[in-house]
Structure 1
């Protein structure tokens, strides 16, 4: 039986073979993890479709292959009873751990089966690996870490460094290139007065209700999208029509060790600010720990990039997450002197935003109207409250 790389994510065309959990001759059970692969969106495991023996491993670790490629071959077992007991090498119970946790164990040179998990149902957590490592003497595994995790290769003769271009980085490059080649990007910039919203946030915090600023921003975008649905759409060129999506599935561009990934907050239009903020925390943690599922990263209709916390950006020309229509970047908030309606100079907290949109589908005037409405809601939080009643 051929075990092939199947489509495990929306728009996936290829994947990088990270690590095999089995070797030739191993006996496996149905649903047992065989190999860990990485796409532009996630790290995932390919399970055994049925019980059998690994007859041949065709693709080597480190290779990038297209969907449909045969990864390994499993030979079915006709009679489990007839086989000698000592020949069975199947794990009696699958080790529960995320791909990211398994990766940490491999980098430290630790057999994950030796670790006792403290998570639900005995699941092995990141801290369990570090605790086991400290007990076994960290220095013992440091050479292994250096050998396996350092991706740079130095050519001593010509004094160059070569960084492997594969895995998620290669997938991201492919998707960004596709977006720029397909979509005529147009970007405009705006300033948003965050002062009143910050005051509201601090007031709620004083009442033991801590909600992130981004939660308010995402909700305000959803309210604006109701009035300007053209930015929550996709272009169906084959049928020559623009499809306006009724549901707001907002993607949050998240920077991780493996590269950029975009988990999705689903149905933002139906959720309050508190629910949005709490879901953001959960998704952010899953993204950092490489625990996102296909559902977590699929079906987005609008994307947000919050680079403000990095404290180094005042503007950008973000690339649209194809096939979406638009993307908004939030940049750092900074106190500035501003002239108010009474011609007085006052200090206000100002945030820059950048909005890229598909010029085939929308025009500049509509994009400006959209960000003006967004700014109105943020600068006057009471209007947002009225919209939610």
Structure 2
């Protein structure tokens, strides 16, 4: 087979633009295999590896760490013995309309009927079909939108994996679908199908979901006029957007939709709130004036430093949570003298299993016991704020400090895992967080969050509830203190705890009871066995 040079381009990344290259895994002269990672991209919500479309030898590299790329950007030149038409070449090719129809119908070339399936959408849960762009007889081109799906967090368009003609449609608007479900049957030309994947799966499914809001925001910037708004019940918006609007007290009928067909997306709600807070719109509630613009350079030398994407997003979420959740913080101390003695005595045993036994895993176990005793802490308000959803699982978020900012990976089923298992998993996911390789699904589904500053210092702080959770535990640095026990003062290792909770769900008495129960479990670990 004749060797030829091929241009490898950035594939479909869900409409995202100017995504940063954070790692280049190859260099000129490298021999690579098909599906081997070439570069790693990072958006503000997800990290994605771009694989090699085929085996070959790297001839020329066109990107470097720090570059911003979009779909179709030139990555590298590859010497390959495969013949594969790049997406750009396919786009530039001109096909007479008549021949295109003949090709789709298979009148002049061998063709076959194949199934088009739901690709990897970053979740195992069923999602809703909210729009159908095809019907029987529709002629499709590669990467054209087939259907639009909506989860409770994002909207995603599913593209066609090849060109052809739809012969049968298997789903309809309103259906619930999962990865692998059949969307439609399509007739494709065998010659084309040889070099095209039948599966609709893209290597960027997780990023596609995370970037939906960003794509729709870009559409908003290009909008020339405001959409006509209607009553809330008639507004085109998904459950996640309606939930956010309810939390922020926003009337959706006053929000202009920038998404497809005038759909209101989360960024539209955030922009509406921002406009109101800055005095650019009317509000029936309290108007907060914007901060004054100050030229700090007139006081001395300054330097402007750009905030990381994670810090920007965290700032927005923290501000929303602080404004919408009525916080109360309960403070207490736990005597962990015996716990620490037990930990020290079993560190070597844990090290044999490759684990580092830290105080945090003991706290996680004690928190789960408290959540079982007080289930209103393991809950969330529904989107209307009228019902409390009690969770029967115990997934704990653990705040991790990274160079880019604070992230909260979730450890699942804490109640079912041993201290050593939790230590291993906590170390692995913390490492992944600091390397910027967490997937969106690894930061979802938490019931309760723990933010530990014990390794740094401090005696107490007020952690902000990670909505839609209803409580968060802050852990500060432990220290030896004198405690009056049996008519004498004894040195005891005391651990400061700060419990913040949503006062709409939890009253002060229950907050105090939860902390007392938690302190009791940490003071005497034997109670966790009861």
> Compared with structure 1, are the counterparts of its residues 31 and 239 closer, same or farther at alpha carbon in structure 2 (3 Å cutoff)?
farther
2:399 partner SS: strand
1:188 partner SS: strand
Q: Given the alignment of the two structures, is residue 292 of structure 1 paired with residue 438 of structure 2, yes or no?
A: yes
Q: Structure 1 residue 238: deviation in Å?
A: 2.2
Q: Structure 1 residue 168: deviation in Å?
A: 1.1
Q: Over residues 100-133 of structure 1, what are the superposed CA-to-partner deviations in whole Å (9 max), with x where a residue is unaligned?
A: xxxxxxxxxxxxxxxxxxxxxxxxxxxxxxxxxx
| Structure of larger gyration radius | 2
Structure 1 CA distance for aligned equivalents of residues 350 and 420 of structure 2: 12
Match of 2:455 in 1: 309
Match of 1:77 in 2: 90
Residue 193 of structure 1, aligned match among 335, 339, 351: 335
1:313 partner SS: coil
Conserved in 2, the CA contact under 8 Å of 1:17 and 1:38? Answer: yes
Match of 2:401 in 1: 255
1:290 partner SS: coil
Structure 2 CA distance for aligned equivalents of residues 157 and 365 of structure 1: 49
- 1:29-108 to structure 2, matched below 5 A, reads 36-39=41-44, 42-45=46-49, 74-75=87-88, 77=90
Task: Using the TM superposition, name which of 209-218 and 363-372 deviates more.
Answer: 209-218
Structure 2 CA distance for aligned equivalents of residues 211 and 270 of structure 1: 17
Match of 2:479 in 1: 334
Residue 361 of structure 1, aligned match among 495, 499, 505: 505
Q: Given the alignment of the two structures, is residue 161 of structure 1 paired with residue 283 of structure 2, yes or no?
A: no
Residue 350 of structure 1, aligned match among 494, 497, 502: 494
The CA RMSD measured in Å over matched residues stands at 3.6
Q: Structure 1 residue 164: deviation in Å?
A: 1.3
Conserved in 2, the CA contact under 8 Å of 1:302 and 1:325? Answer: yes
Q: Which runs of 5+ in 1 are unaligned?
A: 7-13, 23-28, 50-59, 64-69, 81-153
Q: Structure 1 residue 35: deviation in Å?
A: 7.2
Conserved in 2, the CA contact under 8 Å of 1:304 and 1:329? Answer: yes
Structure 2 CA distance for aligned equivalents of residues 208 and 317 of structure 1: 33
> Compared with structure 1, are the counterparts of its residues 196 and 43 closer, same or farther at alpha carbon in structure 2 (3 Å cutoff)?
same
Structure 2 CA distance for aligned equivalents of residues 168 and 219 of structure 1: 29
Q: Which runs of 5+ in 2 are unaligned?
A: 1-9, 25-33, 54-65, 74-86, 94-295
2:437 partner SS: coil
Task: Tell me the TM-score normalised to structure 1 length.
Answer: 0.64
Q: Structure 1 residue 17: deviation in Å?
A: 2.8
Structure 2 CA distance for aligned equivalents of residues 272 and 4 of structure 1: 39
> Compared with structure 1, are the counterparts of its residues 351 and 183 closer, same or farther at alpha carbon in structure 2 (3 Å cutoff)?
same
Conserved in 2, the CA contact under 8 Å of 1:16 and 1:37? Answer: no
RCO higher in structure (CA 8 A, sep ≥6): 1
2:346 partner SS: helix
> Compared with structure 1, are the counterparts of its residues 239 and 321 closer, same or farther at alpha carbon in structure 2 (3 Å cutoff)?
closer
Q: Structure 1 residue 72: deviation in Å?
A: 5.3
Structure 2 CA distance for aligned equivalents of residues 348 and 21 of structure 1: 48
Task: Tell me the TM-score normalised to structure 2 length.
Answer: 0.48
Q: Given the alignment of the two structures, is residue 176 of structure 1 paired with residue 318 of structure 2, yes or no?
A: yes
Q: Structure 1 residue 2: deviation in Å?
A: 9.4
> Compared with structure 1, are the counterparts of its residues 21 and 206 closer, same or farther at alpha carbon in structure 2 (3 Å cutoff)?
closer
> Compared with structure 1, are the counterparts of its residues 71 and 241 closer, same or farther at alpha carbon in structure 2 (3 Å cutoff)?
farther
Q: Structure 1 residue 359: deviation in Å?
A: 0.7
Q: Structure 1 residue 207: deviation in Å?
A: 5.0
Q: Over residues 176-230 of structure 1, what are the superposed CA-to-partner deviations in whole Å (9 max), with x where a residue is unaligned?
A: 1111122111111111101010111122235566522111110110111111111
Q: Structure 1 residue 237: deviation in Å?
A: 3.3
Q: How many residues align?
A: 282
Q: Given the alignment of the two structures, is residue 320 of structure 1 paired with residue 490 of structure 2, yes or no?
A: no
Q: Structure 1 residue 157: deviation in Å?
A: 12
Structure 1 CA distance for aligned equivalents of residues 341 and 462 of structure 2: 30
